[in-house]
Amino acid sequence: MELRQLEYFLAVVEEGSFTRAAARLYMVQSSLSASLLGLEKELGTDLFTRGRKGAELTDAGRALLQPARAALHDAERARDAVAEVTGLLRGSVRVATVAVPRDVDVLETIRPFQERHPGVAISVLHDGAQDLLGLVAEGTADFAITPLTHRTTPALRFDPILSTPLVLLCPPAHRLAGARGVQLGDVVDEPLIDLPRGWWVRELLDRMFAERDLPRRVRLEVDEWFGVLTMVRRGVGIACGPLACIDETLLGGLSIATLDGAPTWELGIATRDEALRGAAGRAFLDAYRRQCRERLGE
């Protein structure tokens, strides 16, 4: 059994078909199929049911899934360990992030880092709705740039980067535009543009309504922060979000109103308690921390 066969196996699982997996791996489908047929022959069983719906795992395939992922993960760690001893920085880094202000945007770290370390592969999972702390805890991401939520566990370390209050975002002509200390009751009948459940902003806002015993009606949900900002600018409604996450270049079409008793949205870096996997991961995280210190004036 070869590592490349396990890589091909996982590609088919993740893509759901041999055709898409071959395209992702930049190889012809016949070569991919031949390699996996060899793996099945060695194991003495079929791993996939091949049909019009694509490639579906058999029971044997499902049994191989976790060991295959673990084997590739261990091989990657072994390569990183050797590279660290020999002074070569290579390997991979997996970062999960929500939409954040530009000063703490991990995308700003990537270009200068890869100019210095072209041998490092970087994967960015950009998703606000998922539990990013969970992705770190389970090892899917090496670290995450995420709000501090109640889902923090003892297995994770959370280092704050910035804290910012929730504010209301309004079209410039809206009656609340520029207001200070708005009572949440004044927002009940407004067309509020919400982020879906799972976003920490939504959780904090829901809590505010519940604590004040106010009715909560969800009229419109948008599962992407910049989509929310765009809708506010077009006058669809108003929204609630972290003050620091409002891009200054968009302020020409937005007005801000402060909320009385607004909760704080805290952003930070989540890592596992154990040492970050590999020299590449540690070096990239160090570079990101330096960016945050320099741009935030710490």
Q: Could you tell me which residue, 222 or 297, shows the higher pLDDT?
A: 222
The model's pTM: 0.64
Residue 130 banded pLDDT, cuts 50, 70, 90: low
Question: What pLDDT is attached to residue 213?
Answer: 94
Q: How many CB atoms are closer than 10 A to CB 55?
A: 21
137 pLDDT higher than 90: no
Q: Could you tell me which residue, 126 or 221, shows the higher pLDDT?
A: 221
Give the DSSP per-residue string, 13-49.
Answer: HHHSSHHHHHHHHTS-HHHHHHHHHHHHHHHTS--EE
17 near 55, Cβ under 8 Å?
yes
Output the six-digit token pair for 47.
Answer: 């791993």
Architecture of the 164-265 domain: 3-Layer(aba) Sandwich (3.40)
Listed by start position, the domains of the chain span 3-68, 85-161+266-296, 164-265
Question: How is domain 3-68 classified at the CATH fold level?
Answer: Arc Repressor Mutant, subunit A (1.10.10)
pLDDT tens digits, residue range 26-78? 788 888 889 999 999 999 999 988 777 678 889 999 999 899 988 887 887 77
Architecture of the 85-161+266-296 domain: 3-Layer(aba) Sandwich (3.40)
Task: State the Cα–Cα distance between residues 176 and 168, nearest whole angstrom.
Answer: 9
